[in-house]
Structure formats: C-alpha cells, structure tokens
Amino acid sequence: MASLLSTKRLDTPNKNHLLAAGIGVVDYDAISIQLTPPDLKSITSDKPLTHLLFTSQNGFLGFKLAFDQLDLVTQSRWQLSVFCVGEGTASIIREAGFQVREYFENAQSLGERIPNNKGIRCCYFSGNLRRENLLKELSSRNIYFIERRSYQTVLKPKTFERSFDAILFFSPSGVQSFTQNNTLKEAMAICIGSTTAAEIQNHTEKYIVAPKPTITQVILQSINYFKQLNGAD
C-alpha cells in the first residue's frame, strides 16, 4: 500500500477517500495557531482606511474576535471592503457579513493586482511568520497600508523514523516544522499552493501544486499522483 503523511489533521471523509484509493495515511498537526486579537481601537491612520487585507483564514479569525468586542459605532468604521487570499477565506469572510471585493490565489497576486490609486488605504492583518512578498509589492506600488498581528503560528516539530511515498503540505510554516527534524528523502511533496511550494523548493525538486488552494484539491492531487505512478487510468 502506498504511504502518505499529512502535516495537517485530516477529517474522516478525506481519510476515507484516500484509503479507498489504496493509500495509507498518517496525519498530524505540524503547527498550531494562536489567535491574537489586535486592539482595533488603538489603530490610527492619517486618513480613513478603505480596505482590509487577509492572506489566511486565521488572519481574519483573529481580527473577527477583536471586531466582535467593539461597540456598534466602532464596528461600523471597520466594516470595510476586503481583499483576501483563497476561495475558502473569502467564503468565511462573506459568511461573517463582510464584503469581499476580490480574492486572489496567493499573496503575491494580491500585491500585484490590488487597484493602485490614492484612495486605497489598507490594514493588513497577519501572522508572526508571514512572508515579505506582499509588503514589498504594496510598497513598490506606493499603496498605503498598515499592518497588525492577529494570530501566531507555533511550529510543532516531530521526528519520523520511517519514509513516506508522498507528504502533504498546507503552509510554508508546515514545511519549516517538518524539515526541522526530517528530510523528504524520495517523497513527493504535494502542496496546497504556490507559496507553500516556494518553501518546499528549499528542500526538494519533487513537488506538485494543487490547482486550487483547498484541502479537497490536495487530496485529489494525491490520489491522481498515485494513480499515475501505478499506471492506472
């Protein structure tokens, strides 16, 4: 039986989907997330902010915890249009009652394609391990922004004494956590998106990127990989 390691706990339907395809699964959480709601009342700007930026669901969830503690008048000042990364993130934000102006595949695309005009003034809610690419892109295009932390990622390294045929990665920090105590050896790395793939390239040339940044697509990509490996139709 083919063996697969997931660096994120999978729900029962996804595990069963893999098992039905003849793939043995080991899963664990390579990272943990601690939401750190920012003090929204203390955030000031020379001019009123117009948009919120989120590159992950956790970024929004940390913000939402802080937002829910505000009085209605202050909430109205933060009920802003949103640019975000990922369809899943956009869905959660909409369900919470916020308007998603547009969502992008990754942070780089967000930085490159966000409208560039003097009226755009953003607040970016990030994590402690966020990458620099979005900030560099916004700065290079002279887009006004301020940044606040809304969650913290904690690595949870674990040592594996065995090898796997494929390993699933869902974030750059998940890659960092796994590679602290392990190497990929000959395993195929299957990544949820291009940002995660950029991190995995520091460790292997054998990787696949899911066509859409969702857990479902990562699972389907894994099944397709093993089918092709075994010569199945």
d(CA 143, CA 181): 40
pLDDT of residue 26: 98
pLDDT of residue 210: 95
Owner of token pair 């040592």: 159
Residue 185 zone, left/alpha/beta (φ > 0; ψ -120 to 50; rest):
left
Pairing relationship of beta strands 207-209 and 188-191 according to DSSP bridges: parallel
Helical spans, DSSP H, in the chain: 12-20, 57-67, 72-78, 87-95, 107-113, 133-140, 172-181, 194-200, 215-229
pLDDT of residue 116: 83
**Would you call 11 helix, strand, or coil by DSSP?**
coil
Dihedral sign computed on CA atoms, order 190, 196, 202, 208: positive
- CATH assignment of 34-154, given 3.50.50.60, 1.20.210.10, 2.40.50.100, 3.40.50.10090? 3.40.50.10090
pLDDT of residue 117: 78
How much is the pTM?
Answer: 0.88
Cβ atoms within 10 A of the Cβ of 198, count?
18
Owner of token pair 């308007």: 99
And the tokens for 166? 């494929």
CB 67 within 8 A of CB 40: yes
DSSP 105: S
For residue 98, which phi and psi values (nearest 5 degrees)?
-100, 150
pLDDT of residue 184: 96
- Highest CATH level, class, for 2-30+157-229: alpha beta
Number of H helices and E strands in the chain, helices first, is: 9, 11
Domain with CATH 3.40.50.10090 in the chain: 2-30+157-229, 34-154
- Each of the 233 residues of the chain gets a pLDDT tens digit; together they read 899 999 999 999 999 999 999 999 999 999 999 999 999 998 887 788 999 999 999 999 999 999 999 999 999 999 999 999 988 999 999 999 999 999 998 899 999 999 887 789 999 999 999 989 999 999 999 999 999 999 999 999 999 999 999 999 999 999 999 999 999 999 999 999 988 999 999 999 999 999 988 899 999 999 999 999 887 54
